[in-house]
Amino acid sequence: MSNPYTPEKTESDFGRARLKSFWHDIAAMFSRRPNELVSFDQVKRSLKTLGESYRGVKTVPIAQIIGSATLRFHDFDGAFLPTSARTKSRWRSVDAAWYEDVDLPPVQLYKIGDAYFVRDGHHRVSVAREKG
């Protein structure tokens, strides 16, 4: 990759992501709309879904990943941007892997309709969204 990793890059990337999250919070406050990930458990309860089935490894559009199947939905906003410094270390390590062109394991998702919810891989989804 023509853009080699440096700790300063991941620090800057995380800071930029946190700043975007801050501005999303401000915009959400003025528009009176939520700025949080959708909770899989809430959707599941409201739709009264029945069971689960494994569908294998697939590529899914990142825009269709809208929520979390764990309590991590508090760590990221509705655009999967980090909401606190608590996620910084892990986020930066995933970001560094992107710069170093390291293959990471696929994320684990649940699907309801056309929407996906992260079971494992919140930081990978966050960095992937930031990198476009």
pLDDT digits (tens, 9 = 90+) for 85-121: 999 999 999 999 999 999 999 999 999 889 999 999 9
Measure the CA angle with vertex 103, ends 99 and 108; round to 5°: 115
- Decide: residue 91, CB within 10 A, 0-12 exposed, 13-18 middle, 19+ buried: buried
Three-class DSSP category at 7: helix
With a threshold of 0.95, does the pTM exceed it? no
Residue 2, CB-side half-sphere exposure with 13 Å CA sphere: 0
